[in-house]
Structure 1
Amino acid sequence: MLLNNLTKKFKHWLPLAKSKIEKGASQLENSINNYDPKEIIPSKLIERLNTKLNSLPVYESYYDTLTINVHDYIHQWIINKEQNRKNCLVIKGNCVDNLYNILTSIFSEKSSLSKETIELDYQIFSLENLKQNRRDRLNYLQEKILEIQQQSDKKIILIPDLSYYFSRTIEGLEVLEKLLKLLDEDENKFWIIGCNHWLWLFLVKIYHWDAYIENARDLPLLSQENLQDILLPVLDLVEFDWNDLRRFLVELPNQNEDDHKIISQLQAKYFENLANLSQGCLGTASQLCFYSLRYVKNEETELSNLKINNPQLPDFPSITQSDRYLLFCIGLHGHLNKSDLANILGDDQIYITSQIECLVNLNLIHFLDHQNIAINPLFYSKLTKDLKDNHFLVESD
């Protein structure tokens, strides 16, 4: 029995070790070819920029579109309450966007609701005092389901991000079935549910949620103007010269224009590129923006100056099917700690630790804090395409 267990563990470990060695060699080669210590932006500066971004009311860019949609659907629900499938609106976003903050910032105040709904009770699934452990989150969701089942009054309920309460385990899927049953049967509640695209595809393909919920809308894509309004105040934290972007332009600005107008043209072109590369996703756009800043050493003064470059998506690395499955699981849940990830994968933490390290080194995932792992926004669009090409993300028929 002991020998069989050791053999099983060795067979499990061997491909992971091989993968780690191959990736380590590839990464070392890339670092030798591409690493320039004079041009690396310090992580502390990235943290400052992200902190500034999170402190700003950036979600005003979503406000008009989302509130108009919600008003329309709530109105339909009020006048057609017997049509159960109209009592829920799913708002889909990317797993690298902070869907929780977006929806709570917009709908936490009753002023964002129309007059016809202002008198209704309003309940938000809050993250306050919510523990990191997925089991605790499932218990919280189950308690809320039981609580709402006992309420007969009309009410609007907001779940800002369903992925916070999702667990791809038997227990987790059973709780989601109870939630779906409640949505389908209780005509006195209108639900606003945030859900990332990967999770929605999973729920539709495997559990046919679209048969019960017909109203699902995408988070509005951010335009060049939106991104410029959001990110320019963040960039005020640092000093650089927008004229550095001249070297990337095929057609230079008219030299007869005044400096202010030239800077405006350079900024417009920069944020146009940012909007195209990020596909309107704030999570991706903000990180592309921050990592387009580089410290470059002046050979004459020996001092390093901060310069801005054209935003550019990094090349997508070579990964295995095992990597794809792990990345898919992380994206479904928005973020996971190692313990929950191992539980969902059905493995011991020791088996996935080296794989996580490899994917962190490839920058495909990163730590949000000391515990939680998430998809790196810089790779979101290319990773999504890769997972679709390899049939991990499948559109419903």
Structure 2
Amino acid sequence: MADWWPHGTTLEPTEDLVNVLPGILNSLGEPVKKLSPPVPYQVTIQEALAKALQDWQANPEFENNSLVVLGRPVEDLGPIIKASLHEGLPDCDVHFFLGGYQRPSDPLTVREHLKHELDPGAQAPSAMAPPVTQTELDNQVPTVMVVSSLEQCFLRCIQGWEGIEHLQTLSTQDTSRFWVFGCNYWAWAFLERVCQVSAYWENVVELPHLSGTELEDWLMPLLKTELKTQSAGPLVQIAAASDGYWNSLANTSDGIATTAAQVWLKSLKMRATALTDEGTVADGAALLELLPDDKPTLPSLMPLEAMDRYLLHSLLIHREMTRSHLAISLGEAECSIRSRLQVLRREGVVHQRGRQFSVQPGHYPRLYSELGNNNFLIGKS
């Protein structure tokens, strides 16, 4: 994939620093992906869930039996929710559903897919289950049902959100179980517009924006370790940064972990003396030290055409999509969007993983402003 970050970021130390070689930089992305979700994310979910469960168990006939976790479209809520619930629900029977689920080729069959995946023996919607009693709840271990990506349970097209309506019915009619849903702000705003999701799922918790200190704590394991990035290359050690750097990183990335991780990686520099005249790491270098730029910056955003904005808006609502689903959501022929999708991918605005396309997290803050200023329905930043 083409380098999606603008070149020319400079430092003013007493020695020359240069951009990190692409191969080393790309391999550093793997240990970032393996980091545990930031602790503030997990604590926020655990505290909200503990209260929601307590309220529901104390008054099951009247309290809402669900909690929705909202985050930004460039954050994968599945691992965040799973890590939070792994330690946060020791006395519950937790069931995770639809992990890695991708909607079927025909989006109008999502409802039937969800019925089969979630509760193949469920009663018909017309046969409403009797409300669970307090005595029943007191005598059984609470069952928690987790669906961490509502974005994959619908498609923005005519009748494309029947899967969400099924989940609304399923979760509200059976008060014997508690439900946890994950959703991004943009999808939530869309679903609120078309099927009033908040009328069914009232309890909502939002992932916090991370401070500079919290970002430093999250990335600290990578600052304390000598990282092996290439089979035949040197070990890499990343130098510590000042408090001012971390505060700047938090402001630049809007405190979004995935965005901050990309900005942080692209701010790293290496000493020019570590390179040969041919631009490779000098022979015999056993340890390569990387130093963060004092002023981390977002990637520049290419000028967007009207079609680009519609493409990106749909991608941000659904977090990731195939090209065919993207075309259906826009009401366009697949061949008509192919060229613009290729341009966005080449410019590094869009990332492709297999058949799935998504927006690069580093571009999210600028896209949030760009689409908001052009009157698109957006969620929170």
Shorter-chain TM range is 0.7 to 0.9
Are 1:379 and 2:363 counterparts? yes
On the 8 A contact 1:145/1:179 being kept in 2, the answer is no
Amino acid at match of 2:93: D
On the 8 A contact 2:103/2:154 being kept in 1, the answer is no
On the 8 A contact 2:270/2:291 being kept in 1, the answer is yes
Shift of 1:134: 5.2
Distance 2:176 2:311 in 1: 39
- Go from structure 1 to structure 2 and tell me whether the alpha carbon gap of 1:222 and 1:148 turns closer, same or farther (over 3 Å shift): farther
SS in 1 for 2:156: coil
- Go from structure 1 to structure 2 and tell me whether the alpha carbon gap of 1:131 and 1:383 turns closer, same or farther (over 3 Å shift): closer
Are 1:286 and 2:261 counterparts? yes
Report the counterpart of residue 198 of structure 2 in structure 1.
210
Shift of 1:296: 5.9
Shift of 1:392: 1.2
SS in 1 for 2:181: strand
Distance 1:149 1:43 in 2: 52
Report the counterpart of residue 94 of structure 1 in structure 2.
72
Distance 1:140 1:176 in 2: 12
Report the counterpart of residue 169 of structure 1 in structure 2.
157
Distance 2:163 2:103 in 1: 18
Report the counterpart of residue 94 of structure 2 in structure 1.
122
Report the counterpart of residue 58 of structure 1 in structure 2.
37
Shift of 1:234: 2.5
Distance 1:218 1:270 in 2: 26
SS in 1 for 2:205: strand
- Go from structure 1 to structure 2 and tell me whether the alpha carbon gap of 1:208 and 1:272 turns closer, same or farther (over 3 Å shift): same
Report the counterpart of residue 277 of structure 1 in structure 2.
252
Amino acid at match of 2:99: L
Q: Please list the CA deviations of residues 163-215 of structure 1 after superposition, one character each: whole Å capped at 9, or x if unmatched.
A: 13232234531121111122332222211111011111111123221222221
On the 8 A contact 1:95/1:198 being kept in 2, the answer is yes
Q: Please list the CA deviations of residues 278-319 of structure 1 after superposition, one character each: whole Å capped at 9, or x if unmatched.
A: 121111000001111245644996366854313111233321
TM-score normalised by L of structure 1: 0.74
Report the counterpart of residue 309 of structure 2 in structure 1.
324
Where in structure 2 are the equivalents of 1:177-256 lying within 5 Å?
177-235=165-223, 236=225, 237=227, 239=236, 242=239
Distance 1:342 1:48 in 2: 33
Distance 2:374 2:8 in 1: 29
Shift of 1:377: 0.8
Aligned positions, number = 335
Q: Structure 2: where are the runs of 5+ without partners?
A: 11-16, 124-128, 133-141, 228-234, 282-287
Q: Please list the CA deviations of residues 140-180 of structure 1 after superposition, one character each: whole Å capped at 9, or x if unmatched.
A: 32323543734888631111121132322345311211111
On the 8 A contact 1:331/1:375 being kept in 2, the answer is yes
- Go from structure 1 to structure 2 and tell me whether the alpha carbon gap of 1:373 and 1:42 turns closer, same or farther (over 3 Å shift): farther
SS in 2 for 1:230: helix
Amino acid at match of 1:105: A
Q: Structure 1: where are the runs of 5+ without partners?
A: 1-29, 243-262
Distance 1:344 1:395 in 2: 18
Amino acid at match of 1:202: F
On the 8 A contact 2:103/2:153 being kept in 1, the answer is no
SS in 1 for 2:314: helix
- Go from structure 1 to structure 2 and tell me whether the alpha carbon gap of 1:294 and 1:140 turns closer, same or farther (over 3 Å shift): farther
Which is richer in strand?
Answer: 2
Amino acid at match of 2:342: E
Which is richer in helix?
Answer: 1
Report the RMSD for the aligned CA atoms in angstroms: 3.2
On the 8 A contact 1:342/1:348 being kept in 2, the answer is yes
Are 1:71 and 2:50 counterparts? yes
Distance 2:33 2:299 in 1: 24
SS in 2 for 1:92: strand
